[in-house]
Structure 1
Amino acid sequence: MREFTLRQRMLPAFERGALLGLFWLATAGLAGMAAARPFWIRWEALNAYGEALDWTTAIGKGCGGAALVLLLVQALLGARSRWMDALFGLDLVYRVHRLLAVGILVLITLHPMFLHFYRPFAQELAWSAWPLVLGSLVLAGLWISAVLARFRRFVELPYHWWQLGHRLAAWPLLFGAFVHVLSVSEDYRRFPGIVMALLGLAFLVVLALRTRLLKRFGFARTPHVVQAVRPPSPEFPDAVELILAPQPGARGLQFTPGQFVFLLPESKAVPAEEHPFTIASAPDSLPRLSFTIRCCGDFTSRLGQLAPGDTVLVDGPYGRFSYAGLAPMNSPLLLVAGGVGITPMLSMLRTLAHEQDPRALCLVWSTRTREDVLHAQELRELEVALENLRVIHVFSRQRMSANLAERSGRLRPSILKDALAILPHTPQDPPPHAFICGPASMMLVARQSLLGLGMPARRIHVERFSL
C-alpha cells in the first residue's frame, strides 16, 4: 500500500486544533497589547500628573492599534502559503480571513468615532496633518474593498477584475495603516515592545508579499502543457476533462488524493484568470494531472477552447480533504458527493483501487438525473476493482427505479443511515470516517444528518471552499 510522504500528509485534528488555538492566542495577545497601550499611557499620566483619564481617546487609539495588528495578520493569511495550508487547510484560512475582516471593519469604524467624540472632524482633517488624511483614505479604502468583496456578484463585477483590484489595493492600504498608526501619535513609538512585535509581524508580511509576487510572475508555479481536452463521456457536452503534463524539464507535482490546485491558463482562447480545481486523477498517474470540470460559468465554459500544447501554470497542491492523514489505516470510508463534488472522491477511489485497499467503502452521489452521472462506466469498473465498494445514486429529479442502488428525491438522513449500515460497525471494526463535498446546502444536510445518526463531529470532514 502506498505510503504518502510527511510533506504530503496533513496534521491530525488534535495538533491542528492546538496550533489553531495558539494562532488565535498570539493574535489576540498582540492585538490586546496594542489596544491596551493607550490606556496604560493615560493611566501613568493620571498617577504622575493627576491628569484626567480621557477614555474616549484611549478607546479610539486602542481600536486603531488592534486593527493594525489584525490587518498584518490578514496579509499573512492572504499570501496562500504552503505552510499555512499544511497547518490549517486553505479553506479554514480563508474563513478566518473573512472573519477577521469583519472585526477589522468594526475596529476601524469605532476608531475615528471615539477619537472625535468631542472634536469635529473638520477641525483636524487639514492637509498639513497628513497622517490624519492618510488614515481617512485607508478607512475609506478598507470599506470599499470589503463592500466589493461582499457584493461582487450583486454588482456583476467579474471575478478576475475584483481579484486583481483586491490584491493591488491590499498592500497600499496596509502600508498606509502602518504609517498612520506610527506617525499620528507617540503612544506606540514610545513602547519598543509593541513596535518590535509589529515590525516582526510586518517582516512576515513582507515574506508573504514575496511569495505572492513570485506566484504572480510565475516563479512559484509549475508550467504544464495541455495534453487533451475532451468531454468525460460523449453524453456530457457541458463538462470537460482536462489532462495536463509538466513541461519538459519542469518538476511534477506530488499530491495527496483529494487535494486541489490553482490553474492559470496562458492561452488567447481563455481569460488569464486563476481558479481552483480539484485533481481528479490518482497520484499513481503522475506526472499527468486530470481534472473533471463542469462548464457552468464564464471561465469554465471556455476551458473547452484550450488546445493541446497550450500552457497552464499550476500552483499547489493545497487542501486537507483526504483520507490520508485524516482517517486511520483501514478505517471504513463514507464518501458523500453532490454534483461535481465527485472529483475529490474520484481521486480517492482511483488511488484506493490502485493500492488494492481492502477497507469498506460507500459512495453516496447526489445528482439531478442518471444522465448527470459523470464517469459512469469507470464507477462500475471501480466497484469491480474495489470488492468492498458500494455506490448509492440519489436522483433529485428522477423517479425511483427497481435498482436498489438508486434513490429518488433529495439527500436525507434515511439514505445516509442505509449507507452507514453497509459499512462494518462491530466493536472490533475501526469507526468509519465521512467525507462530504458538494453544494453548501447539501453539505449542511449531510453533516447534520450524520451528527443526528450518532457519528462524532471529529470523524466528519467537509470540503468547505469558495472564493
Structure 2
Amino acid sequence: MKRSGRRAPRGWFWGAGYFFVLAIPVTVAYLEGGLPGRGFWIDLAVAAGAVAFFCFCGQFVLTARFLPLGRSLGVDAELRFHGRMGTLGAGLVLVHAGILIAVAPGNLGYMNPGLGAPGGLILYGALLALGLLALSTLGRRALKIPYDLWRLTHGLLAGVVVVTGAVHILAVGFWTSNPLNRILVMGTAALALYALAHIRLVKPLMALRRPWVVSEVRYEAPKVWTLAVQALRHDGLRFAPGQYAWLTLGRNPFRLEQHPFTIASSAERNDRLEFVIKELGDFTSKMSSVAPDTTAYVEGPCGGMPWDTAPRGVVFLAGGVGITPALSMARTLRDRRDRRPFVLFYAASSEGKLVFREELERLRGELALTVVPVLETPPPGWTGETGYISREILDRHLPREGRNEWDYLICGPDPMIEQMHAHLTALGVPRRRQRSERFNWV
C-alpha cells in the first residue's frame, strides 16, 4: 500500500464552510425581501432565530460520520466543534427571544396557550426539548445517565428541536412569506432528519449484509482486553491506522449498545479486526464474558489521525489505553516493511500498566521504533524516565534536526493532551503538525 502525500483539508476549511452555510438563510431572506424593515432590533432577532435553527440542523451533519470531515478534523475536534455549535445555537435562541421581548413585551403573548397562537404554542415543545437536551448533555456524568440511553435521547430531543423550530418559523412567518424561504426551511429540516435516520436506520440495515463474528477475547492486563472479530462472508473493512469503528455485539445491529473503539490491528489485514477495550462502564465491563462466535456488527471506519504523510518520521505520545492507535500504526509499519522513524512516548501510572510492552519490544527489532516509557510510580531499580511526560523528557528523546517536519500524534486523557500540546509548541513544533484524540469523549 502506497503512502499518500495529500493531507485532508484543514479544520479551518470546514469551519469557514459551516459559517458560510449559516449565513445563507439570512442572505436569501434579505435578497428575497424576507426582512421587510420592521426595525433593526426586530430584524436582528429574527435573523438570530433563523441562524439558530440552521445551526441546529447542521449539528446532524457533524455527527453523521461523514468520513472526509472526520479525517480532516479528527473525531476529537469534530465533536468539540459540535458542542460549541450547539452552545452557539442555544445562545442565539436566547438572543432571539430576549430581543423580541425587550423591544415588544407583547410578544410574550405567543407563550400564552389561551391565545392559541400556533407559532407560539409550538415554542413550548421546542424550549422544553432544548432545555432537556442541554441538561442531559452538560450533566450526563453528574446525573449518571447511561451512555446508550443518553445517545438515544440526545438524537430524539435534537430531532424534536428541529421539527418544532421549523413549525415555529413557518407558523410565525416573519421571513417565510415567499416560497423560496419556505422551501429552504423545510428542505434543511428534512435533510437533518434524514441524517438522523441514516445513522439510526439506514446504517444498521446496511450492516445486516456484512456481519462479523467474535474470533477471540484475549486478556492483556487488569481490566484490559483485546476483542478480535472476523469478517463473515465478506471482504472486511478497509481502514487507516488511527481510525475507529462502532461495534455492536449480538444479532441485532439496531441495539442501543453500540460503542466506538479504535482499531488496534494492522491496516494491512481487513478481514480481521482487533479492538483494545478497557473496562470503564456497563458495556465494556462485559468483555470477559463475551463468547467466541458471538455475532458482531462493525460500522466504520470513522475519524482518523493522519500520520501517513510525514516522510521524516512520526512521534506518538500515548497515555494509558491511548496506546491503541499507536499499536495499529506500529503493526501496519511492520507489515508494510516501512522503516520510517517512529518514536513512541508511553505514559503509565506503574510498570504493570504498560500494556503490550513485550510486543513493543519485539517490534523494536522489526522497525525503526524507539519506545520511551514514562512511569508515574516506578518500581525499585527502574532506570527509565519517571513522573509525567515533560518538556525536558521530550527534548531529550526527540530528534535534534528536522523535528518540525515530523508528525506528532497525541492520545490520552484531557489534561495530558493539553500539556503535550503546550510542551510541543514550546519546543518549536508547529501546531499544524500536532494532532490529538481523546479516548473519553463518550
Scaled by the length of structure 1, what TM-score is found? 0.85
**Equivalent position SS for 2:237:** coil
Distance of 1:142 and 1:38 partners within structure 2: 30
Mark the CA change 1:201 to 1:289 in structure 2 (over 3 Å): closer, same or farther: same
Asked if 2 retains the 8 angstrom alpha-carbon contact of 1:335 and 1:363, the reply is: yes
**Match for 2:54 among 46, 65, 69?**
69
CA contact (8 A) 1:35 1:62 kept: no
Question: After superposition, what is the alpha-carbon deviation per residue over 1:50-85, rounded to whole angstroms, capped at 9, x for unaligned?
Answer: xxx544433332222121111211122232233433
Aligned with residue 434 of structure 1, among 396, 403, 408: 408
The equivalent residue for 1:413 is 391
Instruction: Report the alpha carbon displacement of residue 372 of structure 1 after superposing the two structures with TM.
Output: 0.9
Map 1:220-239 → 2, pairs under 5 A: 220=207, 222-232=210-220, 236-239=221-224
Is 1:107 the equivalent of 2:92? Answer: yes
Task: Report if the CA contact (8 A) 2:224-2:276 is conserved.
Answer: yes
Match of 1:20 in 2: 14
Measured on the aligned residues, the alpha-carbon RMSD in Å equals 2.7
The secondary structure found in structure 2 opposite 1:231 is strand
- Once the two structures are overlaid, the 10-residue window that deviates more, 338-347 or 83-92, is 83-92
Larger radius of gyration: 1
**Unaligned segments of structure 2, at least 5 residues:** none
TM-score (norm 2): 0.90
Aligned to 2:352: 371
Please state whether the residue corresponding to 2:405 is helix, strand or coil: coil
Residue of structure 1 aligned with 2:305, choices 308, 317, 321: 321
1:45-124 paired onto structure 2 within 5 Å: 53-117=38-102, 118-119=105-106, 121-122=108-109
Per the TM alignment, residue 122 of structure 1 is displaced from its structure 2 partner at its CA by 5.0
Aligned to 2:374: 394
* Residues 400, 336 of structure 1: alpha-carbon distance in 2 compared, 3 angstrom cutoff: farther
Flag the 1:41–1:455 CA change in 2: closer, same or farther, 3 A.
Answer: closer
User: Contact between 2:374 and 2:388, CA under 8 Å: does it hold in 1?
Assistant: yes
Cα distance change of structure 1 residues 351 and 237 upon mapping to structure 2, 3 Å threshold: same
Greater mean alpha carbon deviation, residues 292-301 or residues 334-343 = 292-301
Is 1:3 matched with 2:17? no
Matched AA of 2:319? G
Note if contact 1:27-1:70 (Cα within 8 Å) is conserved in structure 2: no
The CA distance in 1 between the partners of 2:382 and 2:352, in whole Å, is: 17
What is the CA-CA distance between 1:20 and the residue it aligns to? 1.4
Alpha-carbon distance in 2 for matches of 1:96, 1:342: 25
Q: CA deviation at 1:311?
A: 1.3
- 1:217 CA displacement: 3.7
Which residue does the alignment assign to 1:48? none
User: How big is the shift at 1:437?
Assistant: 0.7
In the TM superposition, what is the alpha-carbon distance from 1:31 to its structure 2 partner?
5.1
User: Could you tell me how far apart the structure 1 residues matched to 2:47 and 2:352 are?
Assistant: 59
Deviations 1:400-451 (A, max 9, x none): 7453xx211111111111121xx3626xx98222111111111111111011
Q: Any conservation in 1 of the 2:34–2:178 contact (CA below 8 Å)?
A: no
Aligned length, in residue pairs: 435
Task: Indicate conservation of the 8 Å contact 1:34/1:66, yes or no.
Answer: no
Give the unaligned 5+ runs of structure 1: 44-52
Instruction: Give yes or no for contact 1:417–1:453 (8 Å, CA) kept in 2.
Output: yes
Name the amino acid aligned to 2:91: V
What corresponds to 1:345 in structure 2?
326
Match of 1:46 in 2: none
Q: Which amino acid aligns with 1:398?
A: P
Q: Distance in 2 between matches of 1:11 and 1:22?
A: 21
Cα distance per residue 1:15-38 (max 9 Å; x no partner): 334631441342342254378689
Q: Where does residue 262 of structure 2 map in the other structure?
A: 278
**Letter in structure 1 aligned against 2:370:** R
